Amino acid sequence: MKERHLTDQSKIIDGKKISSLIKAEIKSETETFKSEKKITPGLAFIIVGNNPASKVYVKNKGKACEELGFYSVTETLSEDISEQELLEIIYRLNSDLNIHGILVQLPLPSHISEHKIIEAIDYKKDVDGFHPVNAGKLLIGDKCFLPCTPFGIVELLSRSNVETSGKNAVVLGRSNIVGKPVANLLLRKEINCTVTVCHSGTKNLPGICSQADILIAAIGKPEFVKKDFIKEGCVIIDVGINRIADKNSKTGYKITGDADFEDCFDKCGMITPVPGGVGPMTIAMLMKNTLQSAKGEIYG
Ligand code: GUN
C-alpha cells in the first residue's frame, strides 16, 4: 500500500466513528425515553432462508438493538415458507404494541413477491422506508421514514461538513434501496443538490461523473470508479460492498467498494472507505428510525 501523509487522513469520511457517535446519541435518548414514558423501542426482524450475507446483517442489527437497549425479536423462517404464511407473521407484528419497527431482510426467495410483502407492512412501522407510502412521501418531501442507507449517506455528508447546496451530485445506480431514494433525498430543498442518476443505459458515464462535486457509487461493481472519472476535489460516497479474490488474505477474498480507493484517493476531496464507511451508518439510521417510531415522531 502507498505511504500517505498524516494530513491525508482528514480526507477519509470515517463511517465507523460517525455511526458510533450517532449510536451513543440514540442510546442516551433511549434511556431518557424509557424512564420517562416506560416504553422500550421494539424492532422485529424477519429473515427467510439461508443467505449468509443476510444472516450477518440481521445478526449485526440485533446486536445494535442489544447495545442501545431496544427490545428485538427475530423470526427465522425456512426457505420454503409460503407467501401467505409470511404475510400472517407480518399482520401479527403489525398489531403487536411492543413492536415499533418491522424489517424483512431482502432478498426474499423467488416464490415470494417482495413487493407484496413490503406493502403488507404497516407503513407506520416501516423503519426500512421501503413501503410505497414512505417512498411517495420521500418523493414529495413529506415527513416519513427514510431508507437507512440513503439517510446514512446524507448524515455522513452533513457531519463531515460537506457543502451540498447548489452542488452537482451524481448517483450511480437506480435501485429502490439506494439509488432512487438517495437521489430524491439529495433533491430536497434543505440539501439542495442538482442530481443526475446514471444507470446501465447511461451514455458517456465518465463524462457525467467528471461533473460531480458529490459522487454516490451504488452499482455493485468492484472498483469501478477510477480517478479518470472524477473531478479534482470530488467527494466520493462509496456504497458498494463487493467480495473479490485476494491471494494475500487468509479468507481468500477481500471486500472492496464500487470506487477504486487507492486510485481516487489523491484526486478526490473526501472519500468513504469500504469497509467502515457507509455500511455502519445503515444500522445506526435503522436504530434512529425505530426510536423515532417508538416516540411517535414520524406518524404520531
Ligand atoms: N438488503 C440489503 N439491504 C437491506 C436493507 O437495508 N434492508 C433490508 N430489509 N434488506 C436489505
Of 14, 23, 105, 258, which is the active-site residue? 105
105: CA distance to ligand 1 center in Å? 5
C-alpha grid cell for residue 80? 420454503
The reply to whether the predicted model has a pTM over 0.75 is yes
Whether 1 shows a pLDDT value over 70: the answer reads no
Region 91-116: what's the mean pLDDT? 98
Q: Provide the Cα torsion 94, 137, 217, 281; round to 10°.
A: -50
Mean pLDDT, the chain, rounded, equals 96
Query: Can 38-122 and 147-279 be said to share one CATH topology?
Result: yes
What percent of the chain is predicted at pLDDT more than 70? 98
Tell which residue, 234, 154, 242, has the closest CA to residue 190.
Answer: 154
Region 88-111: what's the mean pLDDT? 98
pLDDT value at position 5?
54
Whether 2 shows a pLDDT value over 90: the answer reads no
Q: Which residues line ligand 1 (CB under 6 A)?
A: 103-106, 128, 148-149, 177, 282
Tell which residue, 264, 187, 265, 174, has the closest CA to residue 227.
Answer: 264
Domain residue spans of the chain? 38-122, 147-279
pLDDT value at position 7?
57
Region 170-188: what's the mean pLDDT? 98
Q: Is 128 a catalytic residue?
A: yes
Q: What is the DSSP letter of 45?
A: E
User: Could you tell me the pLDDT band of residue 300, with boundaries at 50, 70 and 90?
Assistant: confident
Question: Domain 147-279 adopts which CATH fold?
Answer: Rossmann fold (3.40.50)
Pick the residue with more confidence: 4 or 155?
Answer: 155
pLDDT value at position 8?
81
Whether 22 shows a pLDDT value over 90: the answer reads yes
Region 148-172: what's the mean pLDDT? 98
Write the CATH number of the domain with boundaries 38-122: 3.40.50.10860
pLDDT value at position 267?
97
Q: Is the peptide bond before 275 cis (omega within 30 degrees of 0)?
A: yes
